[in-house]
Chains A and B, each alone.
Chain A
Amino acid sequence: MATTTLAPRARTYDRSRVYEWLTTTDHKKIGVLYISTAFLMFLVGGVYALLIRSELAIPGLQFLEFETYNQIFTLHGTVMIFLFVMPMWTGLANYIVPLQVGAADMAFPRINALSYWMIPLGALLLFSGYGLGGAANAGWTGYAPLSAREGIGIDLWVASLVLLGTSSILGAINFIATIFKMRAPGLTLMRMPLFVWNTLVTSVLLLFAVPVLTAGLVMLFIDRNYGGGFFDPALGGNPILWQHIFWFFGHPEVYILILPAFGVVSEVLPVFSRKPLFGYKAFVFATASIGALGFSVWAHHMFTTGAVYLPFFSFFTFLIAVPTGIKFFNWLATMWGGQIRLSTPMLFAMGFIALFLIGGLDGAFLAVVPFDFHVQDTYWVVSHLHYVLVAGSVFGIFAGLYYWFPKMFGRLLSEKLGKVHWALLFIGTNLAFFPQHLLGLDGMIRRIADYAPNPGWTELNFLSTVGAFMIGASTLVFMWNVFVTMRTPADAPDDPWDANTLEWATTSPPPPYNFDALPPVRSERPLFDLKYGAVEPRAAAYPAAAGETHEETRADAPEEVLGEPVEGHRDEEGEDRPEATPQVSEEAPDARPRETRPTRDEIPPPPEERR
């Protein structure tokens, strides 16, 4: 018969694991790809940092020449910002946000895969400068007209950033659609976990800021290759225009790098203090207003250009201290009176508060315009931005990685090694970056390969180098931790931290379709309510559902962790994307009436049913 020559439609393909990872549209796999790529780039950027610090350990040029040095610090900044911190947050959000909103995947899974695969391509473009006549060498800020005059590395840098920016825009649209359209029933905006809120605000910032950078980069490319004259005064252009464009992107970018860390800390502190977040609404308000104010302060990077209206930008820079202050005190109040467990994620979150505070206070110093005149472009600013990005973003990233690692890989990272990692990173960060404050106050400028042997400068620079190598050592400890942990059996419990949010209501790691059943959502802590008796257990809250399910996967799971199957989940490779949001009835017959929820300041009754 003719039909025998046709492949049967329902054949299950025997795909290799490599093929599966290369073609996946599963948000969790894409998340892991993002995170591993970003971590690899963290290592590359870290090697650049160690090269810089080794050269600066003592005065004089030891082993780097000017041109090499300039390329190294340009790529250090570009790699750390565009290829490490941004993809790392996108990766964590990719994995966690759909789980936290109770969705089966992102809104646009194929676009999600596309935005990931632009990242390695962008990295390739950036590094290809090494083989084509020198990498970019105008600093990560690429100030025109310098960037219009240097070599081909800048063209590749421009192309790379346009690609990475497009990836970010697509990712941002995907997150916004997921968060607005795919939340579980009952998960109103004001019940969303703070990490979801911060991802939402970050995505909005990306959507408004990145196109501006892309436009600027295209203008720079035209200036470089076709004599555009946007930034060339001889052709009627203006070099200051580049700075306005760059920083109109660049300052919101700072919040793009730090807001997700605020989100992680706001997730971790309540769990490890066993208390709800203090002032949830204030947090949401502060996050949104930081995002909005982030667009009104860009020219505080340009105080010394003599071309901006100083009081306006000074005022709004000061103003940002207010919502940031709210966050700090609300975090402290969240922990106050709690039962603090100093597990590794909590240590990183508390380390974040302790050290990001320094970066934040530095920000208030810089808003004092006359003081900014002194320290602009000195090591004081280098110290400030590293207290924001290392003590802020990196501590937040590691808090998130330690916190969600068991969810992603079904294994708990070693606490012992985790604490060694934390201690090394904490001491290393302070040793590396605090002395730079003092150097900047004394007038040591940044982006120089050599410095004068002024009294005290050698000692402080050497200390800073020692700190940088401690940070490097701490990263090795983390990698060893991951290596050792991945060789142990995947036996982490579903909810190892006694956590509050939906991602812990499924298996570790979750099945491809994420949830068999969702608990009812009646507050920002659905799992807490479930465990501590505010609502009935989830199984009772679910209607039985019909339709295709993953029978094979379900068969492997122990009976008791599975609720009833959820409608709408099909093969992850299937042509029909599922509706993704399980249809859960708000008015489930057995759900406890709303009035019995514990009210503010009331200790809920001892739980009757704990798993």
Chain B
Amino acid sequence: MPLVGLRPLPSKVALLLLLPAALLLAACSGLPEGGLPVGNEHPPGFFPVAPATEQGERINSLYPVVFWIAVAVFVLVEGILLWIAFRYRRRRNADPDQLPAQTHGSNLLEIAWTAIPAIIVTYLFVATLDTLAFVENIEPEPQGVIIDVEGFQWQWTFRYPNEGLSFTGVGREGPAMGIPINESVRIRLHAQDVIHSFYVPQFLYKKDAVPGRVNEFDITLRQPGTYRGQCAEFCGLAHTDMYFTVLALERADYDVWVEESREQPDEETPPPDAHVIEVSTPDVNNFDPPDLTAPADTTIVFELSNTDPSSPHNIAIVGAMEDGSDWIGLPLADAGQTATYTAPALAAGEYEFFCSVHPTTMRGTLTVGN
């Protein structure tokens, strides 16, 4: 088993290239060096995160009902327990032969504390069914935006079949999903390899992405904002880092976002004297070969052959850009595809390269020298 460490991660460039910068700068500014970004400004308490969806609001309004019943039962039982502990303590000078009343039971009392909990849980069950019917309601023919979410080890791909858009996560932030608010949006969950779970705390909702199965749900966002989601079902090595972002946008902003997302980064033509390195990605843990060499001050062309049947990959180099940020090869090579990336010329030295989809597991050393 490979043991992977975690080092400071390149992140800002990836976001700038893939996503409209303006929308995400706010999220990026909270990035501590090397750590996970802050995604939830709601301080923890006895009540769930403030909901951002219509469905979440219904769940949120059911919660206090259960909560206060539970508090009442808690106070009752703990109160009686404490009362007993103080009131009925055996006195120090008590006659050891004097027994307390030997009560064996009481039909009336026992029927009472069978019937009352039964009534309470029946009430809760009915309330549950009511909320459940609303939350799980699905329109037979989705009218609005449809988003196909695909989970794979350990990232997400969001596809907009009607808009022709596709985003795959890179780095620890993952991809962004634009959603217009006040519209019912259909989300369809797929999984390539193992079970994942699509979870946004502010939705108060999660659903599993199961291989061989499509799970669907409708959701209507109410509050514009940026919400961070995460895979909730343990899915292997880098499950910790399987993040994504939801951008809840007004309809007009959403249309702008769709247009901007369509613009692809320009393809560069490599100079003829470039040094070509062939590298393949057999799985989510390794590059083959694991370490690379290149001549100094020469443009490097990577011919990446993704032989992993289950996941997209790419190649990126830590600190290879002139401003000290990371160079990232885009677009990603999908499973079984090849891609050609042109990296800038590098001064002699040792560089670290990685797959920006799997930054925590796929890393290697690029030695640049004469």
Contact = CB atoms under 8 A, between A and B. Distances in A.
B84 interface: yes
20 contacts: A60-B35, A146-B195, A277-B104, A282-B105, A304-B197, A306-B210, A333-B106, A337-B100, A339-B88, A339-B100, A364-B70, A370-B135, A438-B44, A443-B201, A447-B239, A450-B6, A455-B38, A601-B104, A603-B101, A606-B97
A342 B205 contact: no
Given A67-B4, A278-B104, A330-B110, A307 B94 contact: no
* Residue picked from A326, A443, A450, A604, most chain B C-beta under 10 Å: A443
A378 B231 CA distance: 11
Contacts of A601: 101-104
A455 B205 CA distance: 21
B234 A337 contact: no
Nearest to A347: B85
Given A66-B4, A318-B124, A339-B90, A150 B117 contact: no
B128 to A, nearest CB: 5
A454 to B, nearest CB: 4
A369 B85 CA distance: 37
A554 to B, nearest CB: 31
A456 B97 CA distance: 56
Nearest to A339: B90
A318 B74 CA distance: 17
A145 interface: yes
Given A66-B238, A66-B360, A373-B204, A607 B97 contact: yes
Contacts of A350: 81, 85
Contact of A304 (B49, B125, B206, B241): B206
Nearest to A525: B102
B99 interface: yes
Interface stretch (A7-15, A116-124, A232-240): A232-240
A354 B235 contact: no
Contacts of B38: 452-455
Contacts of B25: none
Interface in B225-240: 228, 230-240
B59 A373 contact: yes
Contacts of A281: 105
A439 interface: yes
A59 interface: yes
Contacts of B105: 278-282, 330, 600
B81 A454 contact: no
Contacts of B88: 273, 335-340
Contacts of A450: 6, 35-36, 240-241
A342 B59 contact: no
Interface in A227-283: 233-234, 237-240, 273-282
Interface residues of A, number: 110
Interface in B36-83: 36-49, 58-59, 62-63, 66-67, 70, 73-74, 77-78, 80-81
Given A305-B208, A376-B206, A443-B40, A332 B84 contact: yes
A273 B101 CA distance: 11
Shortest 3 CB-CB contacts between residues of A and residues of B? A233-B212, A443-B201, A134-B1
A374 B204 contact: yes
Interface in A590-607: 598, 600-604, 606-607
Interface string A434-448: 000011011101111
A149 interface: yes
Interface of B: 1-6, 32, 34-49, 58-59, 62-63, 66-67, 70, 73-74, 77-78, 80-81, 84-85, 88-91, 94, 97, 99-106, 109-110, 113-114, 117-118, 121-122, 124-125, 127-129, 131-132, 135-136, 189, 193-195, 197, 199, 201-202, 204-208, 210-213, 215, 228, 230-241, 360-361
A364 B237 contact: no
A321 interface: yes
Interface stretch (A309-317, A475-483, A560-568, A572-580): A309-317
A282 B113 CA distance: 11
Contacts of A489: none
A361 B102 contact: no
Given A314-B128, A322-B114, A460-B44, A453 B207 contact: no
Contacts of A278: 103-106
A610 B1 CA distance: 67
